[in-house]
Amino acid sequence: MSYLSTAESFSKGIATQLQPRMLFAVIMPLVVAVISIIFLLIFAWNPLDNWFFSSASNWSWFQKAQSSLGGWGFSTMSDWLAGLLSFISLTAIGIIIGLAAAAIMVTPLAVKYISAHYFPHLEKKGEHANSVSIYNAVKVSAIFIFGWLITLPLWFIPFMSIILSVFWGAYAFSHMSQVDAIVEHATAEERRYILTNHKKGFWFIGLVCALLTLIPFMGLVMPVFSIIVCTHYGLKALETYRQSKTINQTTQTNVA
């Protein structure tokens, strides 16, 4: 599917997001994210701050930077930069928890609305939708949190903080939503086909949503908006696949 289709998915996604039901749905993952962030800041700040500082202290250039900062009244880098990055990192983890909650709780609402208004004739053939959705949410959350933490020391390299935050944001927004978008409608075989042949489109959607989070307050909307756009894109891909499959079968029948 071309990037023209992703642009169409974004335009339809904006219209869907402005529906009262979808606007209200933004609150749900936001509340979960805020509660998660508060919990993480209370219990995980100091351990993460200490680990972050000790990892970076092994780098010679970091030791030189730390010594030079001593002249400015900072006894250790942990006094400011490591603490700041720990706060940002725990906030990001809280957001991914909110995104997982959105995937589980909001996606059914989005799929129901989008399928009824845009794909009313698309038959639901999916099985075990809830278990597949929960498994995907847990898997993506685990990979995101592990990857985010393991690459934390790289944030001391100039511009890597922006690159890594956009990359992991794109991963979360695309992979959290791509399965849930089609799991109710697609068979296991169709799901594998869509996720294999349209992964670039989902990545592109995730990348755009990750870049939009760099705009103040846009991160509050992106968990739900990314789900909506991926749902439009995934269901369109599924509809196109079924239509092409039907045409091929008809052609083969006529030839025979």
Helices within the chain (DSSP H only): 3-17, 20-25, 27-56, 60-69, 81-105, 107-118, 129-150, 160-182, 188-197, 199-212, 222-255
C-alpha dihedral, 172 to 15 to 118 to 208, nearest 10°: -30
| Distance from C-alpha of 70 to C-alpha of 227, rounded to nearest angstrom | 47
**Locate tokens 């339809």: which residue?**
12
Residue 91, token pair as written in the block: 């906030």
pLDDT at 253: 64
pLDDT at 145: 86
| Distance from C-alpha of 256 to C-alpha of 253, rounded to nearest angstrom | 5
pLDDT at 114: 93
pLDDT at 55: 63
pLDDT digits 0-9 by tens, 85-125: 677 777 777 878 877 877 777 888 888 999 999 999 999 99
pLDDT at 72: 44
| Distance from C-alpha of 48 to C-alpha of 64, rounded to nearest angstrom | 22
Residue 67, token pair as written in the block: 């010594």
Residue 98, phi then psi, degrees to nearest 5: -65, -35
∠ CA 52-56-59, nearest 5°, is 170
pLDDT at 128: 81
pLDDT at 254: 61
**Global pTM?**
0.79
SS3 233: helix
| Distance from C-alpha of 184 to C-alpha of 127, rounded to nearest angstrom | 7
pLDDT at 183: 92
Handedness of CA 24, 194, 173, 137 (dihedral sign): positive
- Determine which helix (DSSP H) or strand (DSSP E) holds 79, and give its type and residue range: none
Residue 6, token pair as written in the block: 């992703």
pLDDT at 195: 93
pLDDT at 56: 59
User: One-letter amino acid identity for 201?
Assistant: G
Average confidence (pLDDT) per 10 residues, the chain, 256 residues: 73 90 80 81 74 62 53 49 70 79 81 92 87 89 88 78 90 90 92 93 94 84 90 93 81 62
| Distance from C-alpha of 90 to C-alpha of 82, rounded to nearest angstrom | 12
pLDDT at 68: 52
pLDDT at 71: 47
| Distance from C-alpha of 150 to C-alpha of 140, rounded to nearest angstrom | 15
CA proximity to 197, closest of 9, 1, 6, 5:
1
CA proximity to 114, closest of 22, 222, 2:
22
pLDDT digits 0-9 by tens, 35-64: 887 887 787 777 776 776 666 556 554 555
